[in-house]
Amino acid sequence: MALSTGHNRVRTAVFISGTGSNLKSLIKFSKSKKSPISVNLIISNNPKAKGLDYAKKFKIKKKVLNLKNKNLSENKLLYILKKNNIEIICLAGFMKILSKNFIKKFKGKILNIHPSILPKYKGLNTHKRALNNKEKYSGCTVHFVNSKLDSGKIILQKKVKIAKNETETSLAKKILVQEHKIYPKAILKVFNL
């Protein structure tokens, strides 16, 4: 992706549904000197998402949209993104699937983080499935979003070793630490920095 005009940071929206620890890591990164992005908008489909607290804490605009009526909500969402001059979208623990039409409108401009080494374990319950299959490694992936779930072009991955006594919780925690590192790195990579 080419950086847009001048030295302005690329206006970014982060979509969340829950805790928002990846959102927090992206906000922190966006405030660093080297960041090509600024986080200007937080979108949540869940009014109770803990991550929404970061909007207040960091004085970032937020919008909650339930996305139950997909067409209607996505049109509203597109309007909000346009109004806020959003250029790229980072999905961070966002549990809704965006429509093909929406993705087309932001083609090549939506990134996602997924807690597995894709193409293995697309979808939900990644840690449980990795443990059940007695995998030696798991990890996380940042990828571009296309119309197929967790299948877009991979930007960056990080492997973690699964310990003998690993549980779903311990694995999730271990992987999350790496997620917080690779999402900013993937953004730098996308902008050839």
Residues with catalytic function: 114
C-beta of 79: minimal distance to ligand GRF in Å?
25
Q: Which residues are at the interface with ligand GRF (CB under 6 A)? A: 16, 18-22, 51, 92-93, 113-115, 176, 179
The residue nearest ligand GRF at its CB is 93
Rounded distance, CA 123 to CA 116, Å? 9
Nearer to ligand GRF, 7 or 48 (CB): 48
With CA atoms as reference, report the closest residue to 42 among 27, 25, 61, 29. 61
Rg of the chain on CA atoms, in Å = 16
Residue closer to ligand GRF, measured from CB, 114 or 143: 114
Which residue, 22 or 40, is less far from ligand GRF as judged by CB?
A: 22
Q: How many CB atoms lie within 10 A of CB 165?
A: 6
Rounded Cα gap, residues 67 and 44, in angstroms: 9
Between 20 and 184, CB nearer to ligand GRF:
20
Residue 85 — φ and ψ, nearest 5°? 55, 40
CB of 94 to ligand GRF, least distance (A): 7
Beta carbon of residue 82, minimum distance to ligand GRF (angstroms, whole number):
25
- Which of 22/45 has CB closer to ligand GRF? 22
With 0-12 / 13-18 / 19 or more C-beta atoms within 10 angstroms meaning exposed / middle / buried, residue 143 is buried
Residue 18: which of 58, 62, 59, 53 has the closest Cα?
A: 53
Question: C-beta of 29: minimal distance to ligand GRF in Å?
Answer: 13
Residues in the chain: 193
CB of 106 to ligand GRF, least distance (A): 18
Angle in degrees, 0-180, between the axes of helices 168-190 and 21-30, rounded to the nearest 10 = 30
